[in-house]
Amino acid sequence: MKRVLVFLVCFPLVTGITFGQEKQSDELLSNAIYQEEVKGNLEGAILIYKDIIKKYPGQRAIAAEALFHLGLSNEKLGNKIAKEYYEQVVSNYGDQPEFVRIARERLAVLTTSVSHKEIAIRQVWTGPDVDNCGSVSADGEYLTFNDWNNGNLMIRNLKTSEKKQLTFEGTWKDSSQYVLNSLISPDGKQVAYSLYKYSGSCDLRLIKLGNQTPIILCSGMEDITPSLWFSNCNKIIVQKYDIGKKIWDLSLINIASGEVKSLIKKELAPGPGPQFSPVILSLSFDEKYIAFDFPDPSENGKYDIFLLPVDSKTEIPIIKHPANDRLLGWLPGSDKLLFTSDRSGTTDVWAVSTFEERTFEETKCILTNIGDIFDPMGFTRNGSLYFSMGTFHNESFIVPFDNENGKVSINPRISLSGMIYDICWLPDGESLICTQNIVEPDKSWSNTLHLVNSKNGDAKAIAGNLKIEGQIRLSPDGRSVLVLGLDKKRIDGKMGIYKVDIATGLPVEIKVKQDVSQSNSVEWDKEGINIFYTSNDKIIKHNINSGEEMILYNDKRLLHTILTRSFDGNNLLFDVLVGFNDEGSLSICNFLIIPETGGEEARTMCSYSSVQNWRFKRFALSPDGKYIYYSESGIASGDNSTLCRIPSAGGTPEKIWELKDYFIAGIGIHPEGKQIALSASSPGIEIRAIENLGKKVAEIYSVDK
Each domain of the chain, given as residue ranges in start order, spans: 24-109, 120-390+687-702, 413-511, 512-663
Q: Which residue has the higher pLDDT, 529 or 56?
A: 529
For 26-176, where are the E strands, in sequence order? Answer: 120-125, 142-147, 152-157, 163-165
- Using alpha carbons, list the distances in angstroms from residue 565 to 431, 481, 619, 630: 21, 14, 10, 14
Contacts of 641 (CB under 8 A, 6+ apart): 616, 631, 632, 633, 634, 635, 658, 659, 660, 662, 663, 664, 680
Query: From CA 87, how far away is CA 624, in angstroms rounded?
Result: 57
Q: Which residue has the higher pLDDT, 119 or 271?
A: 119
pLDDT of residue 174: 64
Is a pLDDT exceeding 60 seen at residue 161?
A: yes
Q: Taking phi first (over 0 means left), then psi (-120 to 50 degrees means alpha), and beta for anything else, what does residue 569 get?
A: left
Is a pLDDT exceeding 90 seen at residue 686?
A: no
Phi, psi (deg, nearest 5) at residue 188: 75, 15
Q: What is the DSSP letter of 94?
A: T
Q: Which CATH superfamily is domain 120-390+687-702 in?
A: TolB, C-terminal domain (2.120.10.30)
Q: Is the Cβ–Cβ distance between 226 and 283 less than 8 Å?
A: no
Contacts of 637 (CB under 8 A, 6+ apart): 149, 581, 583, 585, 586
Task: Give the model confidence (pLDDT) of 326-385 as tens digits.
Answer: 999 999 989 999 999 988 877 889 999 886 554 445 789 888 877 667 789 999 998 899
Task: Give the model confidence (pLDDT) of 418-467 as tens digits.
Answer: 788 889 999 999 999 999 887 665 556 788 999 999 988 888 999 988 99
CATH 1.25.40.10 fits 24-109, yes or no: yes
pLDDT of residue 579: 77
Dihedral over Cα of 205, 225, 329, 121: its sign? positive
pLDDT of residue 704: 61
Find the mean pLDDT for residues 674-686. 87
Query: From CA 610, how far away is CA 641, in angstroms rounded?
Result: 9
Find the mean pLDDT for residues 144-149. 90
Is a pLDDT exceeding 50 seen at residue 2?
A: no
pLDDT of residue 11: 28
Q: Is the Cβ–Cβ distance between 204 and 223 less than 8 Å?
A: no
Q: Which residue has the higher pLDDT, 211 or 613?
A: 211
Helix (H) / strand (E) element for 695: namely helix 693-702
Q: Is the Cβ–Cβ distance between 49 and 73 less than 8 Å?
A: yes
Burial of 244 (C-beta count, 10 Å sphere; 0-12/13-18/19+): exposed
pLDDT of residue 359: 46
Q: What one-character-per-residue DSSP string does 330-368 give?
A: EPTTSSEEEEEE-TTSS-EEEEEE-SS---GGG-EEEES
List beta partners, residue 184.
Answer: 191
Helix (H) / strand (E) element for 654: namely strand 654-660
pLDDT of residue 9: 27
Half-sphere exposure of 683 (CA within 13 A, CB side): 12
User: Which of 538-542, 632-636, 637-641 is the most confident on average?
Assistant: 538-542
- In the structure, how many helices (H) and strands (E) does the chain have? 6, 47
For 479-560, where are the E strands, in sequence order? Answer: 480-487, 495-501, 507-510, 522-524, 530-535, 538-543, 549-554
CATH 2.130.10.10 fits 512-663, yes or no: yes
Confidence of residue 4 (pLDDT cuts 50, 70, 90): very low
Q: Which residue has the higher pLDDT, 696 or 35?
A: 696
CA dihedral 289, 142, 181, 226 (to 10 degrees): -30
Q: Which residue has the higher pLDDT, 587 or 521?
A: 521
List beta partners, residue 392.
Answer: 683
Find the mean pLDDT for residues 278-286. 91
Q: Helix or strand or coil: residue 134?
A: coil
pLDDT of residue 221: 79
Phi, psi (deg, nearest 5) at residue 676: -135, 135
Task: Give the model confidence (pLDDT) of 15-69 as tens digits.
Answer: 333 333 334 777 788 878 877 766 667 888 898 999 899 888 888 889 999 999 9
pLDDT of residue 310: 92
Taking the chain, what is the end-to-end CA distance rounded to the nearest angstrom? 55
Is a pLDDT exceeding 70 seen at residue 274?
A: no
Q: Is the Cβ–Cβ distance between 3 and 17 less than 8 Å?
A: no
Find the mean pLDDT for residues 225-246. 90
Query: From CA 127, how far away is CA 210, in angstroms rounded?
Result: 27
Query: From CA 185, how far away is CA 500, in angstroms rounded?
Result: 51
Query: From CA 452, how far away is CA 440, in angstroms rounded?
Result: 20
Mean pLDDT of the chain, nearest integer: 84
| Ranges 21-25, 389-393, 488-492, 650-654: which has the least confidence | 21-25
pLDDT of residue 541: 97
Is a pLDDT exceeding 70 seen at residue 705?
A: no
Q: Which residue has the higher pLDDT, 564 or 270?
A: 564
Phi, psi (deg, nearest 5) at residue 398: -115, 130
The percentage of residues in the chain with a pLDDT greater than 90, rounded to a whole number, is 46
Q: What is the DSSP letter of 34?
A: I
Residue 368, Cβ neighbours under 10 Å: how many? 14
Which is nearest to 291 in space by CA: 326, 323, 253, 247? Answer: 326
Half-sphere exposure of 506 (CA within 13 A, CB side): 2
Give CA angle at 702 (700, 704), nearest 5°.
95
Q: Taking phi first (over 0 means left), then psi (-120 to 50 degrees means alpha), and beta for anything else, what does residue 220 get?
A: left
Q: Which residue has the higher pLDDT, 271 or 268?
A: 268
Contacts of 338 (CB under 8 A, 6+ apart): 327, 328, 329, 330, 331, 349, 350, 351, 366, 385, 693, 697
Q: Is the Cβ–Cβ distance between 500 and 467 less than 8 Å?
A: no
Cis peptide preceding 322, ω within 30 of 0: no
Query: From CA 219, how far away is CA 71, in angstroms rounded?
Result: 49
Contacts of 238 (CB under 8 A, 6+ apart): 204, 218, 224, 225, 226, 227, 250, 251, 252, 253
Q: Helix or strand or coil: residue 230?
A: coil
Three-state secondary structure of 194-213: EEEECCCCEEEEEEECCCCC
pLDDT of residue 105: 75
Query: From CA 522, how far away is CA 408, in angstroms rounded?
Result: 28
User: Which of 54-58, 169-173, 650-654 is the most confident on average?
Assistant: 650-654
